[in-house]
Amino acid sequence: MAGVRFSSIESPDLWSSTSRSSRPRPVRSVETTARELMEVGERVFNLQRLYLTRGGMDRKDDDFPDKFYDEEIPDGPAKGARLSRETISRVMGEYYQLRGWDQNGVPTREKLAQLGLD
């Protein structure tokens, strides 16, 4: 296709906060940086999480099935290993903290305020 340029994830400036998005714009012409797009994505992700937690989803629903803890990995570099419930619980807590969620995986009031969702 003549005149059509596709960008890829390997583009060096794609995720730069100073670059302008080359993606199609909505009806009105709005310049958007990659950082602004990331912030929109974070708001969407947190709204989705809030919706799910209000419907009853919590930390237990983020866990792996028992199979991953009970059965050894059959092949590959981690052959014979199993997931550790203690490690997964610790890492999940760290992830929630980095996301700005409480220990049950619910976005905190502070996080929602930071994203303008209060």
Is 108 exposed, middle or buried, given 0-12, 13-18 or 19+ CB atoms closer than 10 A? middle
C-alpha 61/C-alpha 109 separation (Å) is 21
Condensed to tens digits (0 to 9), the pLDDT of residues 44-86 reads: 999 999 999 999 999 999 999 999 999 999 999 999 999 999 9
Condensed to tens digits (0 to 9), the pLDDT of residues 11-31 reads: 555 555 555 556 655 556 678
Task: Quote the pLDDT of residue 25.
Answer: 55
Task: Quote the pLDDT of residue 3.
Answer: 47
Domain range for 78: 46-114
Q: How many domains does the chain have?
A: 1
C-alpha 1/C-alpha 23 separation (Å) is 17
With respect to residue 101, please indicate whether it lies within any of the assigned structural domains: yes
pLDDT at 7 over 70: no
pLDDT at 8 over 80: no
Task: Quote the pLDDT of residue 104.
Answer: 95
With respect to residue 6, please indicate whether it lies within any of the assigned structural domains: no
Task: Quote the pLDDT of residue 42.
Answer: 96
Angle at 80 between CA 76 and CA 86, to 5 degrees: 110
With respect to residue 80, please indicate whether it lies within any of the assigned structural domains: yes
With respect to residue 19, please indicate whether it lies within any of the assigned structural domains: no
With respect to residue 59, please indicate whether it lies within any of the assigned structural domains: yes
Task: Quote the pLDDT of residue 29.
Answer: 67
For range 21-42, the mean pLDDT: 77
With respect to residue 21, please indicate whether it lies within any of the assigned structural domains: no
Task: Quote the pLDDT of residue 64.
Answer: 93
- Nearest in space to 22 (alpha carbons), one of 33, 9, 36: 33
With respect to residue 56, please indicate whether it lies within any of the assigned structural domains: yes
Which residue intervals of the chain are DSSP H helices? 34-54, 66-70, 85-99, 109-114
Question: How would you classify residue 65: left for phi > 0, otherwise alpha for psi between -120 and 50, otherwise beta?
Answer: beta
Six-digit token pair at 7?
Answer: 């960008």
